[in-house]
């Protein structure tokens, strides 16, 4: 069970359902990083979060199938 804590929310988000928005990907080719917009949902609440500067090795292979893996990687720094 994962628990996340973000500065902008005064609550711990416990075991959310995570959805990645595939149309909101920002690529930084110079740094080989991406930024993703994710939605964390728990009963009675939804939290939209921008996960920035997620490192990737090869920008060419990043597709929708890998987005959840990248989102989980980006969420690690917010684990409570």
Q: For 12-71, write each residue's pLDDT tens digit.
A: 999 999 999 988 889 898 999 999 999 999 999 999 999 999 998 877 655 677 889 899
What is the DSSP track for 12-71? EEES-EEEEEEEEEEEETTTTEEEEEEEEEETTEEEEEEEEEEE-S-TTT--GGGHHHHH
pLDDT for res 41: 97
The per-residue b/e assignment along 41-56, b for 16 or more CB within 10 angstroms, e otherwise, is: eeeeeebebebeebeb
pLDDT for res 62: 56
Domains of the chain: which residue ranges?
Answer: 3-78
pLDDT for res 39: 97
User: CA gyration radius for the chain?
Assistant: 13
pLDDT for res 61: 58
């Amino acid at each position: 069970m994962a628990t996340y804590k973000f500065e902008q929310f005064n609550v711990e988000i416990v075991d959310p359902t995570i959805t990645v928005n595939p149309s909101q990907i920002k690529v930084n080719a110079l740094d080989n990083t991406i930024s993703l917009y994710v939605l964390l949902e728990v009963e009675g609440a939804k939290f939209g979060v921008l996960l920035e500067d997620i490192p990737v090795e090869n920008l060419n292979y990043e597709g929708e199938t890998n987005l959840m893996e990248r989102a989980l990687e980006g969420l690690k720094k917010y684990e409570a």
